[in-house]
Amino acid sequence: MELNFFPINIEFDKYQINIEGYTEERLKELRALYNSTHSFFRNDDYIYISNKEGDENLQLGTSDERHVFNDAEVTSSLIKHIFFRTFKERFPKYTPIDFYPFRFFSEQLKDDIIYQDLPDKLKNKIAYKKLIEIQLRHIKNKGIERFGFVINIRRNWIFNLSCLDLNEEGYNLIGVEVLHTEILPGLQDILAPNEDFIGEIIEIKGYSAKVRTNNGVEIYPLKELYIRKTKFNIGNYLSFATSQQISDSILNIIESRRSEVYNTKKHYEAIISIAKYIFSIKGESVLFQNKDGFCFTVDEKPLTVNNSIELKTPTFIYDYAGTKTNNTNADIGLSNFGPYDSPNFAPKTPSVLSICHRANRGSFSNFLSSLHLGIPNSNYFKNGLLKKYDLHEINFDIQEIQEYNVEEYFKIIKDNDEYKPDLAIIEIPDSFKRLSDDQNPYYKIKAKLLALEIPVQYVTSRIINNYDQYILNSIALQIYAKIGGTPWVLPSSRSVDREIIIGIGHSKIRQNQFSGGNQERIVGITTFLSSDGQYLLGDKVKDVPFDDYFNELLKSLKNSIKRLSNEHGWSEGDTVRLIFHIFKPIKNTEFDVISQLIKDIPEYKIKFAFVTISKSHPYLLFDKNQPGIKKYGSSIVKGEYIPNRGSNVFLDDETCVVQMFGANELKTTKHGMSSPLQIKIRTPQGKYDDNSIKDLLFYDLNYITQQIFSFTYLSWRSFLPGEQPATMLYSNLISKLLGKMRKVQGWDPDSLNYGLKRKKWFL
Q: Which of 372, 369, 360 is nearest to 428 (CA)?
A: 360
Torsion sign across C-alpha atoms 220, 222, 223, 224: positive
Residue 277 in domain: yes
633 SS3 class? coil
Res 514 pLDDT > 60: yes
Lowest-confidence range among 127-136, 328-337, 394-403, 432-441?
Answer: 432-441
pTM confidence score: 0.90
pLDDT in the model for residue 593: 78
**Is residue 34 within a helix (H) or strand (E), and if so which, with residue range?**
helix 24-34
- Beta carbons within 8 Å of 653's beta carbon, 6+ residues apart: 140, 699, 701
Average pLDDT of the residues in 596-619: 88
Residue 335 in domain: no
**d(Cα 425, Cα 475) in Å, to the nearest integer?**
10
DSSP state of 224: G
Residue 511 in domain: yes
> Which of 289, 304, 319 corresponds to the end of one domain?
304
**d(Cα 440, Cα 429) in Å, to the nearest integer?**
11
**What burial letters (b/e) apply to 341-369, b meaning 16+ CB within 10 Å?**
bbeebeeeebbbbbbbbeebeebbeebbe
Q: What count of residues does the chain have? A: 763
Residues 420 and 531 in one domain: no
User: What confidence tens digit (pLDDT) does each residue in 236-283 have?
Assistant: 999 999 999 999 999 898 888 877 777 899 999 999 999 999 999 988
Residues 416 and 544 in one domain: no
Distance, C-alpha 150 to centroid of its chain: 19
**d(Cα 502, Cα 581) in Å, to the nearest integer?**
6
Residues 18 and 141 in one domain: yes
- Provide the H-helix boundaries in 262-339: 264-279, 330-337
Residues 381 and 503 in one domain: no
Q: Where are the beta strands (DSSP E) in 83-143?
A: 102-105, 126-141
Arithmetic mean of pLDDT over the chain:
87
CB 489 within 8 A of CB 317: yes
Residues 468 and 521 in one domain: no
Residue 326 in domain: no
CB 99 within 8 A of CB 79: no
- The answer to whether the bond into 721 is cis (omega within 30° of 0) is no
Residues 440 and 540 in one domain: no
Cα radius of gyration rounded to whole Å, the chain = 29
**d(Cα 760, Cα 481) in Å, to the nearest integer?**
6
pLDDT in the model for residue 541: 57
Q: Which domain holds residue 437?
A: 346-482
pLDDT in the model for residue 86: 95
Average pLDDT of the residues in 667-682: 81
Average pLDDT of the residues in 682-697: 75
Residue 407 CB neighbours (<10 A)? 9
pLDDT in the model for residue 569: 81
- Beta carbons within 8 Å of 501's beta carbon, 6+ residues apart: 528, 529, 530, 531, 579, 581, 707, 711, 727
Residues 709 and 590 in one domain: yes
**d(Cα 102, Cα 92) in Å, to the nearest integer?**
15
Q: Which residue has the higher pLDDT, 693 or 316?
A: 316
- Beta carbons within 8 Å of 434's beta carbon, 6+ residues apart: none
Q: What percent of the chain has pLDDT over 90?
A: 54
User: What confidence tens digit (pLDDT) does each residue in 56-85 have?
Assistant: 888 898 999 999 999 999 999 999 999 999
**What burial letters (b/e) apply to 711-740, b meaning 16+ CB within 10 Å?**
bbbbbbbbbbbbbbbbbbbbbbbbbbbbbb
> Which of 277, 304, 331 corresponds to the end of one domain?
304
User: What confidence tens digit (pLDDT) does each residue in 351-363 have?
Assistant: 999 999 999 999 9
Q: Where are the beta strands (DSSP E) in 295-415?
A: 295-298, 303-304, 316-317, 325-326, 351-357, 395-401
Average pLDDT of the residues in 526-551: 67
**d(Cα 474, Cα 715) in Å, to the nearest integer?**
11
Residue 605 in domain: yes
Residue 320 in domain: no
Residues 192 and 280 in one domain: yes
pLDDT in the model for residue 649: 96
**d(Cα 705, Cα 287) in Å, to the nearest integer?**
38
Residue 589 CB neighbours (<10 A)? 10
Res 496 pLDDT > 60: no
DSSP state of 752: G
Residues 178 and 286 in one domain: yes
CB 670 within 8 A of CB 601: no
DSSP state of 708: H
Confidence of residue 122 (pLDDT cuts 50, 70, 90): very high
Per the structure, the count of domains in the chain is 4
Res 495 pLDDT > 60: no
Res 526 pLDDT > 70: no
pLDDT in the model for residue 672: 65
Residue 213 in domain: yes
Half-sphere exposure of 459 (CA within 13 A, CB side): 29
Helix 361-373 vs helix 469-482: angle between axes, to the nearest 10 degrees? 70
Residues 134 and 256 in one domain: yes
pLDDT in the model for residue 188: 67
Residues 364 and 252 in one domain: no
> Which of 453, 482, 511 corresponds to the end of one domain?
482
Residue 750 in domain: no
Res 546 pLDDT > 80: no
Q: Where are the beta strands (DSSP E) in 339-461?
A: 351-357, 395-401, 423-428, 456-460
The β-bridge partners of 614 are: 678
- Beta carbons within 8 Å of 395's beta carbon, 6+ residues apart: 349, 350, 351, 352
Q: Which of 565, 444, 540, 555 is nearest to 754 (CA)?
A: 540
Residues 396 and 358 in one domain: yes
